[in-house]
Amino acid sequence: MLGWRALTVTLLLGAPLQCPSRATADRAREDGADEALWHLAERFGREGYDAARRETLREIVERYPSSRFRASAEVALDASTPTDAAR
């Protein structure tokens, strides 16, 4: 019986060492919605769905103003917006 108790105590004392540290943005395990939208917009672009791509990029700009993808989405929108001469 003493063997089990010693093992239990050892495992319990080691438990805090096994707990994960706080997650940070650079170590996130899953994408945020803004990142998922960015990847979706890229896929729409590759598959030729330009209107869907622009709408998805607008969604990033409007709903996620502090997103790390916002500036890239704005640049992509500016590059994909038709000029008045092309309309």
Alpha helices in the chain (DSSP H): 2-18, 33-46, 50-63, 70-80
Direct distance between the N- and C-terminal alpha carbons of the chain, in angstroms, rounded to an integer: 84
pLDDT tens track for 39-73: 999 999 999 999 999 999 999 999 999 999 999 99
On whether the CB atoms of residues 56 and 33 are closer than 8 A, the answer is no
HSE at residue 81, side-chain half, CA atoms within 13 A, is: 10
What pLDDT does 84 receive? 47
What pLDDT does 25 receive? 58
What pLDDT does 72 receive? 95
Domain boundaries, the chain: 31-87
What pLDDT does 8 receive? 66
